[in-house]
C-alpha cells in the first residue's frame, strides 16, 4: 500500500467530515476549507496507513474509544498563539486587578478558554503576579479542545524564538534558561505553573462543569471558527459564569455584533457584565 497516493476527497465524504467536526467541536467549515481539511486529514491517514478518506471516516466512526476523533480535532484545530498576543488586553487586566485588590478583593479566578500551547495562560499568570501586591488566592483555568497542545502547555518548555515577546525582566523572573543539546530552552518556573490548571474542554457543548463566579474570561480568537448559533450559546454560558462586573476579552478580529446584548462594551474587544444582572 502506497499511503503517499491518497484518494481525492469527494463531495459526500467532505460533507460527512464537515458535519462530524461541527457536531463534535462546533467548528464551521465551508467549501473554501476543503483543501485545508484534505491536507490535515491526509497527515493522519498516512500515519495510519489509510488511503481513502471514506475509509478514514469509517475508522473514526467505528472507534469505540473516540481516540481517533481526538486526533482528528487536533489536526483540524488551528493553534496560532504567542506570549503577549494582543497586548492591550493584558494592560486592561492589570488595571482591573489592581483596582479590585485596592477595593479589598483577595481571591481571583480567570478562565483562559482557548489555551493552545500555553502562551496565553502563562502571560495571564505573569500579569497577575506583576499586578498583585500579595497573591493570596489567584487561579487560572486554562482549557482547550486539543489534548496535544495541552500537553505542550503543561510542560511549559519554549524555544528561544517563542519567547521573544516577553520583557527581559519577566523572562528572568519567571523562566529558567538551560541548554538541551545545542538548543536554548526556557522552562516556566513552578511559581507560575502552580497558578494554572490545564484541562480539556469542548467550547461548543455548554453547560460547562465550572461553577463560577469568574472574574475575567479570555475567549480570544476561537469564536471565529464557530457559526452564530455556537457563538451565542458560548457567550450565554460565559455570561452565566462571570460575576456581575466581571470582564470578557475577545479577539480583536472577532465580530460579535448583536450577540453581546447582556454585556457593556468598555473598549474594542473588552466587555463587562453589567452589575446586578
Check 109, 144, 215, 220 and give the catalytic one: 144
Check 34, 40, 157, 233 and give the catalytic one: 40
Q: Is the pTM of this model over 0.75?
A: yes
The CATH-assigned architecture of domain 88-273 is: 3-Layer(aba) Sandwich (3.40)
Residue 11 annotated as catalytic = no
Fold of 11-76: Chemotaxis Receptor Methyltransferase Cher; domain 1 (1.10.155)
Backbone angles phi, psi at 209, to 5 degrees: -75, -10
List alpha helices for the chain, DSSP H.
Answer: 11-25, 34-48, 53-61, 67-76, 88-102, 119-131, 147-155, 168-174, 190-193, 228-241
pLDDT per residue over 201-220, tens digit each? 999 989 999 988 999 999 99
Q: Where are the domains of the chain?
A: 11-76, 88-273
Q: Which of 33-37, 93-97, 115-119, 206-210 has the lowest mean pLDDT?
A: 33-37
pLDDT at res. 113: 97
pLDDT at res. 13: 94
Task: Kindly state the cell numbers that stand for 113.
Answer: 478558554
Q: How distant, in Å, are the alpha carbons of 69, 108, 182, 212, 243 from that of 21?
A: 9, 35, 40, 29, 32
Residue 40 annotated as catalytic = yes
Mean pLDDT across the stretch 235-239? Answer: 95
Which one, of 114, 139, 132, lies nearest residue 197 by Cα?
139
Mean pLDDT across the stretch 181-196? Answer: 94
pLDDT of 98 > 90? The answer is yes
Task: Report the C-alpha gap between 27 and 204 in whole angstroms.
Answer: 8
Q: How distant, in Å, are the alpha carbons of 238, 264, 272 from that of 261?
A: 13, 7, 11
pLDDT at res. 177: 94
Give me the chain's average pLDDT, please: 91
Q: Looking only at Cα atoms, what is the longest distance across the chain?
A: 68
- Which residues lie closer than 8 Å to 269 by C-beta, 6 or more apart? 86, 89, 220, 249, 250, 251, 252, 254
pLDDT at res. 276: 55
Which one, of 113, 111, 105, lies nearest residue 125 by Cα?
111
pLDDT at res. 275: 63
pLDDT per residue over 46-95, tens digit each? 999 999 999 999 999 888 777 888 888 888 876 678 999 999 999 999 99
Which one, of 208, 77, 206, lies nearest residue 145 by Cα?
77
pLDDT of 194 > 80? The answer is yes
Amino acid at each position: 500500500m502506497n499511503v503517499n497516493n491518497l484518494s481525492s476527497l469527494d463531495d459526500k465524504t467532505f460533507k460527512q467530515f464537515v458535519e462530524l467536526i461541527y457536531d463534535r467541536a462546533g467548528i464551521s467549515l465551508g467549501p473554501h476549507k476543503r483543501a485545508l481539511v484534505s491536507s490535515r486529514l491526509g497527515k493522519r491517514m498516512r500515519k495510519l496507513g489509510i488511503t481513502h478518506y471514506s475509509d478514514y471516516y469509517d475508522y473514526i466512526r467505528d472507534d469505540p474509544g473516540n481516540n481517533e476523533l481526538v486526533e482528528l480535532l487536533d489536526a483540524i484545530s488551528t493553534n496560532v498563539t504567542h506570549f503577549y498576543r494582543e497586548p492591550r488586553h493584558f494592560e486592561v487586566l492589570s488595571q482591573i486587578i489592581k483596582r479590585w485588590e485596592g477595593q479589598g478583593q483577595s481571591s481571583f479566578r480567570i478562565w483562559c478558554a482557548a489555551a493552545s500551547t500555553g502562551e496565553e495562560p502563562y502571560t495571564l499568570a505573569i500579569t497577575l503576579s506583576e499586578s498583585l501586591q500579595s497573591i493570596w488566592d489567584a487561579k487560572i483555568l486554562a482549557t482547550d479542545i486539543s489534548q496535544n497542545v495541552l500537553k505542550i502547555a503543561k510542560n511549559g518548555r519554549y524555544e528561544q524564538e517563542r519567547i521573544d515577546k516577553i520583557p527581559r525582566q519577566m523572562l528572568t523572573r519567571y523562566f529558567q534558561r538551560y541548554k538541551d543539546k545545542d538548543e536554548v530552552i526556557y522552562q516556566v518556573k513552578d511559581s507560575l505553573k502552580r497558578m494554572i490548571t490545564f484541562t480539556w474542554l469542548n467550547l461548543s457543548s455548554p453547560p460547562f462543569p465550572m461553577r463560577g463566579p469568574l472574574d475575567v474570561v479570555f475567549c480570544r480568537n476561537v469564536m471565529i471558527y464557530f457559526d452564530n448559533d455556537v457563538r451565542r450559546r458560548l457567550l450565554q454560558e460565559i455570561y452565566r459564569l462571570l460575576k456581575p462586573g466581571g470582564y470578557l476579552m475577545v479577539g480583536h478580529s472577532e465580530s460579535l455584533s448583536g450577540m453581546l446584548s447582556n454585556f457593556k462594551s468598555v473598549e474594542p474587544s473588552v466587555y463587562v457584565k453589567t452589575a446586578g444582572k
